[in-house]
Structure 1
Amino acid sequence: MHELSIATAIVERADELARAQGTDAVAAVSVRVGELSGVVPEALDFAFEVARDGTALAAAKLVVERVPARAWCESCAEQFSVGVPPFFWCPRCDRPSTALRSGRELEITDIRPA
């Protein structure tokens, strides 16, 4: 389960950022997880609970914002959902698109001190 290594990295980075802000305890960490990131949010949540033990985030909550995969059609200027597995075919003009606008995100967006 690669979510454990991702959760460990989130805990380590959030701890660094919290200390840089002058706090030693974190109440919540917010992350954005794209639909095509390869990360299962439920597995990440479980892994976060394991990874946070014994750290400044021991009581912290993981807040996950799911980001849908969206593509952009340059032919007709339509933005559309690609789904999973991704289908990069514009529903408006019936042409292929390779411009992914969102869905690969995996980032910390906020750390709330305790």
Structure 2
Amino acid sequence: MHEFSIVSALINQCEELAAENKATGIARVAVKIGVLSGVEPQLVKTAFDTFREDGICRGAELEMEIAPLELDCHACGAHSIPDDIAYLCPACNSRDIKISGGEEMLLMQLELMYD
């Protein structure tokens, strides 16, 4: 379960950002997880709930946005978000594509608290 190490790194990043901004707590952590990232959202939630209890993220809410697969077609120039995980351009059925989204996991927002 690599989600535990990912969430551990996420919480460390949140703690560093909170310290840099002299925050006393974190109320909300928003992340974007791509459908092809290899990260299971439910396991991220479980790991976050487990690891947050020992630090400044205690009580923080985790918001997850699931980012769809995005393709750029070199043949016709189309940018598309296919309905399913397919490696064909939906506009022209070309296989000459580049994945331009859906593989990432990003910290999008952090809501800090101050006394």
- Give the partner amino acid of 1:38: G
Identity %: 28
- The answer for the alignment partner of 2:101 in structure 1 is 102
Partner of 1:35: 35
**2: CA distance between counterparts of 1:82 and 1:43?**
25
C-alpha displacement of 1:82: 4.9
Q: Which residue of 2 aligns with 1:71?
A: 71
Cα distance in 1, alignment partners of residues 65 and 39 from structure 2: 12
How does the TM-score come out when normalised to structure 1?
0.90
1:84-110: per-residue Cα shift (whole Å, max 9, x none)? 6x4211122121133111001111111
Gaps of 5+ in 1: none
Displacement of 1:67 in angstroms is: 0.5
Give 2:58's aligned residue. Answer: 58
Provide the secondary structure at the position in 2 that maps to 1:43: helix
- Secondary structure, counterpart of 1:53 in structure 2: helix
* Alignment check: 8 A CA contact 2:89 2:97 kept: no
Runs of 4+ residues over 4 Å off in structure 1: none
- The TM-score normalised by the length of structure 2 is 0.89
Q: CA RMSD in A?
A: 1.5
Question: Which residue is 1:24 aligned to?
Answer: 24
Cα distance in 1 for partners of 2:62, 2:40 equals 13
Residue identity matched to 2:44: L
